[in-house]
Structure 1
């Protein structure tokens, strides 16, 4: 990494006086002593520092301290030069982020080092060198600002990279858990999950996909992920895309059916995704139950969409008959084909769905679709004419509903 410029004030950085340079030079012989004192004594007061391995304190941290001391002394000799190479500070900051040292502890270690160096300069100063000492302290604090900035920037960049890597690893584990390519027990162990879980399926409608929308999609996924983390806690793991996905989270002891968690999540998601968010949650008693729970939650949302149910939290009990009718067997294809004559008429399919959802209330259907009631009547008559289904009869009503569910003609 190239040298970085010395921070300036008002466009200029005044040269240090010979007296200030001479005072600093007297500390050069104490570099190793000061490094040992900081690494083994001064830093011990910092939270968590004492838990670090001895080789980290005696080798890595001591070397970083020596580098900092020599960098300061070199800059004192040449104030018009470059600030020096900060690559070691950046490298150590990345290592501390990888090891999990809190940022506040890392920054406090640098500030503590500055204080110890100030003490050394103060101890070396004699009567009459007060002005030289003030020059050095001012110079020291200006340089410290640049170092702290480099350290914090590198630490946060590394932490963000590690978080993204960990998130992607979790996504891969969830994907393999749900598709059956990873044993559930092993997936739970690697994901840090245990005990009964709540498996949630989210659905968020997307507009037309374009090249420009790719950035919007990524931003939306990040926003949804943030909401999921805040609503369900950081223990939740997820596999999300622009149109939704799955979330697995430990089941709360006071919310055994997951209804409260789903409602809280839905309320938060509506604030960023609008009112068209749909979700369903199914509990899984063991890791082996998770894939089936995910499929069930997905089917509940699919059935609710196909039935024209309003967006929100969907529960199995609310779509129990429709869910049963949507199961596939040897008769499924023939039932689904009953609506083939109107398959290329989306306005007729939507009218049929709304009419069934509103329990054959033509005025309610008309209000929902923004149509005149006579238009609804005309469309229903056309459906009967083309398909032969008498929607007004119990049998025709059941067949039409089953055909809708088996076709999967759900609105976006």
Structure 2
């Protein structure tokens, strides 16, 4: 922990804090409190150096933090209490120092429970000082002061907790965005791979997982910002649970990438991918696809990410059912989908049926079902004779004999290249 310049924190709320209603205390109570004013510095030093030492984590604070920052905060709290005894109505900025310190402790990583216990311990020490100062005839005044002290403590705890939680949320968002920037830079090659790897805590070889949700809009409406953020949070929670704390990710409503360190020969990471898909199906539907590609070094990650994206695209275009896809699963389809000088001519083979999506889908499913007309009919919910009629129409319009090895290979290549062009691949 350090004593660097204090972080920005939410501005105090004087309109609420200084208008809090406190009772006017008796003359005896005010006189009793006034007798403690000379002990403020002594009590502050005692709390900062002795009374707080029993709190978890406090002993690890640097001496200058205890002697300067903590002691100053305690003195402020003591003097604030004693002033309000004489002047019950608060002033704007009464809680500003408490808020600033709460934000600083949040940035330094002090647990909230330790911070709140330090405030409660200070209240107890102040109560002891008032009790020791009171005479037998001032018991009523002592009760007044304790009631007043506890009321004030409630307001201070509220301000401290509110600021601490807000600062933690800000810091968490900043850390998350920084990690996203590192993953983005690693995937697109805009950052030095070794630097990104080191900051993300990754080691090679890694498994780069491309995730495609294929989530249809509900009731024909686009996913709203609120629903989108909620979806990404749920996906992220599933990734954290199934891929482990060492996994890093870059996700959006369409899916994204997950990168996790892989141990050679260990199949647990692939099982984690299967578990992740099973979890995502519960709130993303059946059309969840993953592709897993190994990157041996940090420099291989961008290529692995592109390959994973292409594997999912090819599997989908080839009519394979949703699931976890590996390169070996789509080896032929992947090869046929690579573009070269012949690609446009192959895609043009399907141009005669471009305006007939029913024929295109029938061709895709028929190839995926290994040209079994009955299986194709079941998948499409059609009569086998209807499938035969569509296949005959496809052959008539395109000139492709999909019953032959050459014809089916050309048709598959045309479908893959056509979908690649549609996806911008």
TM above 0.5, yes or no, is yes
**2:224 pairs with 1:205:** no
Q: What is the Cα deviation at residue 84 of structure 1?
A: 6.0
Deviation at 1:47, TM superposition (A): 1.9
Match of 2:160 in 1: 151
Residues 71 and 84 in structure 1, CA contact (< 8 A), matched pair in contact too: no
Unaligned runs of 5+ in 2: 1-11
Residue-by-residue CA offset, 1:37-77 (whole Å, 9 max, x unaligned): 11111222222222222222221121111111112122222
Deviation at 1:281, TM superposition (A): 1.7
SS of 1:128's equivalent? helix
What is the CA–CA distance in structure 1 between the aligned matches of 2:280 and 2:76, rounded to whole Å?
50
Query: SS of the residue aligned with 2:165?
Result: helix
Pairing partner for 1:333 from 344, 352, 355? 344
Output the TM-score relative to the length of structure 2: 0.89
For the Cα contact (< 8 Å) 1:258–1:282, is it kept in 2?
no
**2:146 is the alignment partner of 1:137:** yes
Closer, same or farther: CA 288–212 of 1 in aligned 2, 3 Å:
closer
Native 8 Å contact 1:6 1:143 kept in 2: no
Q: Does 1:285 align with 2:292?
A: no
Structure 2 Cα separation of the partners of residues 177 and 242 of structure 1: 20
* Match in the other structure for 2:111: 102
Superposition map of 1:7-406 within 5 A: 13-81=22-90, 85-207=94-216, 213-251=224-262, 255-256=266-267, 258-406=269-417
Question: Is this contact kept in 2: 1:308–1:411, CA < 8 A?
Answer: no
Q: Equivalents in 1 of 2:386, 2:308: separation in Å?
A: 36
Change in Cα spacing, 1:255 to 1:274, as seen in structure 2 (3 Å) is farther
Other structure's SS at 2:291 match: strand
Residue 400 of structure 1: CA displacement?
1.0
Gaps of 5+ in 1: none
For 2:242 and 2:86, how far apart are their aligned partners in 1? 56
TM-score, with structure 1 as normaliser: 0.91
Q: 1:256 Cα deviation (Å)?
A: 4.4
2:182/2:200 contact within 8 Å kept: yes
CA drift at 1:336: 2.4
Q: Which range is displaced more, 19-28 or 250-259?
A: 250-259
1:97–1:5 distance in 2 versus 1, CA, 3 Å: closer
1:230-249 per-position Cα deviation (integer Å, ceiling 9, x unaligned): 22233322211210111112
